[in-house]
């Protein structure tokens, strides 16, 4: 993928038409999406946050399993994979 986009003004072409051609090239090149991905890239979660999330998942799973076994929720209310 190219990092630069070059658009030159043609003979008898207005600046707005050249700008439109540039924007079209810019959007189709994927430079904008790549730049936004780099700018707003999420940090990897730390070990403590991963551990906390895992414990929360396990706790929620056990609560659902207990409710399912006690008949408080139907099998359709139970998520797939549990």
Three-state SS letters, the chain: CCCCCCCCCCCCCCHHHHHHHHHHHHHHHCHHHHHHHHHCCCCCCCHHHHHHHHHHHHHHHHHHHHHHHHCCCCCCCCCCCC
| pLDDT tens sequence across 14-65 | 999 999 999 998 888 888 888 888 888 788 899 999 999 999 999 999 998 8
Average pLDDT of span 6-10:
86
Q: Which pLDDT belongs to residue 77?
A: 60
Give the predicted TM-score (pTM) of the model.
0.43
CA distance 68 to 55: 20
Higher pLDDT, 52 or 71: 52
Q: Over 80: is that where the pLDDT of 78 sits?
A: no
Look up residue 19 and give its two tokens: 């700008």
């Amino acid at each position: 993928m190219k990092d630069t986009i070059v658009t030159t003004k043609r003979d008898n072409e207005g600046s707005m038409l050249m700008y439109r051609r540039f924007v079209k090239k810019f959007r189709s090149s994927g430079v904008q999406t790549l730049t936004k991905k780099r700018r707003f890239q999420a940090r990897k979660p730390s070990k403590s946050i991963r551990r906390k999330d895992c414990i929360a998942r396990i706790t929620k799973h056990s609560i659902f399993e207990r409710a399912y076994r006690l008949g408080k929720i139907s099998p359709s209310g139970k998520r797939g994979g549990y």
